[in-house]
Chain A
Amino acid sequence: MNSRTLEIGVGLFVAAGLAALFMLAMQVSNLASLGGDADSYTVTAGFENIGGLKVRSPVTVSGVRVGRVSAIDYDTTAYEAVVTLSIDSTYNAFPNDTSASIFTAGLLGEQYIALDPGGAMENLGEGSRIRLTQSALVMEQIIGQFLYSMAAKNEEKTSEE
Chain B
Amino acid sequence: MLDAIQQLGRATLDFFERLGRGHLFLMQVLVSVPATLLRPRLVLRQMHSVGVLTLLIIVVSGLFVGMVMGLQGYNTLVDFGAEDSLGVLVALSLVRELGPVVTALLFAGRAGSALSAEIGLMKATEQLSGMEMMAVDPVRRVIAPRFLSAFLSMPLLAAIFSAIGVYGGWFIGVSLLGVDDGAFWSQMQDKVDLHGDVYNGVIKSVVFGFVVGWIALFEGYDAVPTAEGVSRATTQTVVHSALAVLGLDFVLTALMFGD
Interface size class of B (residues with CB under 8 A): 20 to 34
Asked if B224 is an interface residue, CB under 8 A from chain A, the answer is no
B48 and A6 contacting across the interface, CB-CB below 8 Å: yes
Interface of B is mostly: helix
B197 and A29 contacting across the interface, CB-CB below 8 Å: yes
Contact with B along A48-85 (1 / 0, CB 8 A): 00000000101000000100000000000000000000
Q: Cα distance A25–B194 when bound, in Å?
A: 6
Nearest residue in B to A108 (C-beta to C-beta)?
Answer: B80
Asked if B157 is an interface residue, CB under 8 A from chain A, the answer is yes
Contact with A along B157-194 (1 / 0, CB 8 A): 10110111010000000000000000001101111111
Asked if B220 is an interface residue, CB under 8 A from chain A, the answer is no
Instruction: Tell me how far the C-beta of A120 lies from the nearest C-beta in chain B, rounded to whole angstroms.
Output: 31
Q: Which residues of B contact A14 (CB under 8 A)?
A: 47, 156
Q: Cα distance A65–B189 when bound, in Å?
A: 13
A16 and B91 contacting across the interface, CB-CB below 8 Å: no
Asked if A30 is an interface residue, CB under 8 A from chain B, the answer is yes
Instruction: Tell me how far the C-beta of B129 lies from the nearest C-beta in chain A, rounded to whole angstroms.
Output: 26
Q: Cα distance A87–B180 when bound, in Å?
A: 28
Pairs of residues from A and B, 4 with the lowest C-beta to C-beta distance, nearest first: A17-B156, A20-B163, A20-B159, A29-B194
Asked if B198 is an interface residue, CB under 8 A from chain A, the answer is yes
Q: Which residues of B contact A122 (CB under 8 A)?
A: none
A29 and B198 contacting across the interface, CB-CB below 8 Å: yes
